[in-house]
Amino acid sequence: MANKKNSKNVAPLVIAGLTAGLLVSAYRFVFAKNKPKAKHDTTPKDSE
């Protein structure tokens, strides 16, 4: 019976961890696409 109590306490933590991981990876995916574009446009052209 102690096993069932323990799993009931762990399940919400696992779900919260997966949700947080998903949100962080989605955030990185969205904002990682914008950063290289901005860096590429703002580079000075000294070689010309």
Q: Which two tokens stand for residue 5?
A: 């109590």
Q: What is the pLDDT at residue 46?
A: 67
pLDDT at 15: 96
Q: How confident is the model at residue 39 (pLDDT cuts 50, 70, 90)?
A: low
Between 23 and 39, name the one with better pLDDT. 23
Task: Quick: pLDDT tens for 1-37.
Answer: 556 778 788 999 999 999 999 999 999 998 876 555 5
CA-based nearest residue to 21, from 9, 29, 11, 10: 29
